[in-house]
Amino acid sequence: MMQMQLRVSLSSLVAPLLVVAIVQVAQAQYIPPQAAAQSSGQMPPAGQAQGAPGQPMQYSPPGQSAAVKPFTFQPIPHPGSLPPAPHAASMQPVQPGVQPGAYPGYPAALPPPPPDLVQMGLDSVAPMSPEQVRKFMEELFRRQMAARENFTNRPAPKPVTSVQTLDLSPGATPPVVRVAVGQGSVLSFSDAAGRPWEIVDNINFHGNAFDVKLIGPHLYTIALKEPAAANITVVLKDLPRPIVITAVPAQNEVDYLVEFTVPRFIGGRPPAAALATASDPSAPNFNAEALLNYLYRTPPKDAIALQVNGVSNVMAWQSSPTTMVVRTDGLLILPAWLRRHVATDGMGVYEVPLSPIISIARGGQVVRATISGFVVNATTAKANAMSVNVSSGASK
């Protein structure tokens, strides 16, 4: 009984080994169907494996009917018998004239062409061609010109300069400065004697619409960024009251330069040199707004231009039958002035009695000039003669 069980166990172990051996022999003796057909003109006989390399093989034992389904065996690939699958990035398209099956299932990879470094640099820095660059610049120029067109059909603002006397009284209206895009305004501050007044602080209450900048101790600029109104505050040294200015977009005129005159004296006192040349030192008129037109060289229509000789950069007008206005960048010494107005750059105008000779202090020297061209009517001559006679009688 034990011998019989041992035989059965051996048979169950040997049978699978025998089947594997038969399959290996069949694979070694395998002849492709195409080759067998070409050599004998017949299909492979029963009992031989049928199939292609790498595909499942069918085996029909000898003497078995064709109606019986043959056994199918899956071949066991040997290690290293198949090439590794290529990476997708290294796959190259099949070139013309190369049969896709020429290599074991994989097209041949062609080497890439050498890179054109010059062209790569040009494409990185200037990707457009010369024709495209010309077209781009022409279109850009047309659009820039369209943006600069005066679509409002209004004339461009007229640039002006002015001298304004600030009103520091309570409830006074703040001065207005007109600014245009690309046309900024420069503000200067001086005292009643024309001396520059130092700015110690400023505040811009609308930074999105205006740019402000201090460019000198007494000079201030305003530039417009977008159409809007704003108020700007300037604080002058030792002046307790701040200067409040309204900035608005320009319409008909734009203020290129505004010289603000503060009706006060720096330090509380007028300059001694100017006070010494006044006709009435007890009540000098330093800030005479009526003389501003002469400062701008735009005198009234009834003013008579006079001829000045001996000194350069001096102008004079007869403002009345008994007075004249002298414009000079020096200090007028003789005759004693009645009223005056001096800008921050030193240019000033003086109202003096009619005189054929004037004396001016300039550059540390005193120079004289002669003036001619006076117009004196009979009434004025008679009044002057009577005045002379009265003076003579009084002296006697």
- In one letter, which amino acid is 373? G
Assigned token pair, 1: 């009984």
Query: Do the Cβ atoms of 193 and 265 come closer than 8 Å?
Result: yes
Query: Do the Cβ atoms of 178 and 186 come closer than 8 Å?
Result: no
* Mean pLDDT (10-residue bins), the chain, 396 residues: 50 60 59 52 49 52 52 53 53 53 62 86 88 94 86 83 88 93 92 90 93 93 92 94 93 92 86 70 69 86 92 92 92 89 85 92 90 76 45 41
In order of 208, 226, 266, 324, 358, the CA distances from 337 in angstroms are 48, 47, 21, 10, 11
Residue 248: in which H helix or E strand, if any?
Answer: strand 243-249
In order of 188, 220, 239, 256, the CA distances from 235 in angstroms are 12, 12, 7, 21
In order of 163, 208, 239, 272, 284, the CA distances from 332 in angstroms are 21, 47, 29, 14, 14
Strands 348-353 and 339-342, bridge-based pairing: antiparallel
Residue 137: its pLDDT value, please? 94
CATH for 158-266 is 2.60.40.1080
Shortest CA distance to 335 belongs to which of 278, 275, 374, 256?
Answer: 278
Give the whole-angstrom CA distance, residue 43 versus residue 53: 17
On the 0-12 / 13-18 / 19+ scale of CB atoms within 10 A, 65 is exposed
- Residue 62: CA count within 13 A, CB half-sphere: 1
Model confidence, pTM: 0.53
Residue 390: in which H helix or E strand, if any?
Answer: helix 378-395
Residue 345: its pLDDT value, please? 79
- In one letter, which amino acid is 29? Q
Assigned token pair, 37: 């057909």
Assigned token pair, 374: 């006076």
Assigned token pair, 27: 């694979």
Query: Do the Cβ atoms of 266 and 253 come closer than 8 Å?
Result: no
Residue 209: its pLDDT value, please? 92
Q: What is the dihedral of CA 73, 79, 81, 87, to 10 degrees?
A: 110
Query: Do the Cβ atoms of 354 and 348 come closer than 8 Å?
Result: no
Give the whole-angstrom CA distance, residue 185 versus residue 220: 8
Give the whole-angstrom CA distance, residue 47 versus residue 239: 124
Residue 21: in which H helix or E strand, if any?
Answer: helix 2-28
Give the whole-angstrom CA distance, residue 174 versus residue 241: 13
Shortest CA distance to 222 belongs to which of 238, 230, 211?
Answer: 211
Please report, for the chain, the start and end positions of each structural domain, with discontinuous segments joined by +: 158-266, 270-395
Assigned token pair, 57: 């093989």
Shortest CA distance to 369 belongs to which of 360, 378, 377?
Answer: 360
Residue 256: its pLDDT value, please? 94
Give the whole-angstrom CA distance, residue 196 versus residue 190: 4
Residue 385: its pLDDT value, please? 45
Residue 215: its pLDDT value, please? 92
Over its C-alpha atoms, the chain yields an Rg (Å, rounded) of 55
Query: Do the Cβ atoms of 71 and 59 come closer than 8 Å?
Result: yes
Shortest CA distance to 308 belongs to which of 318, 321, 298, 300?
Answer: 318
Query: Do the Cβ atoms of 60 and 45 come closer than 8 Å?
Result: no
Going by the DSSP 8-state scheme, the letter that residue 30 receives in this structure is -
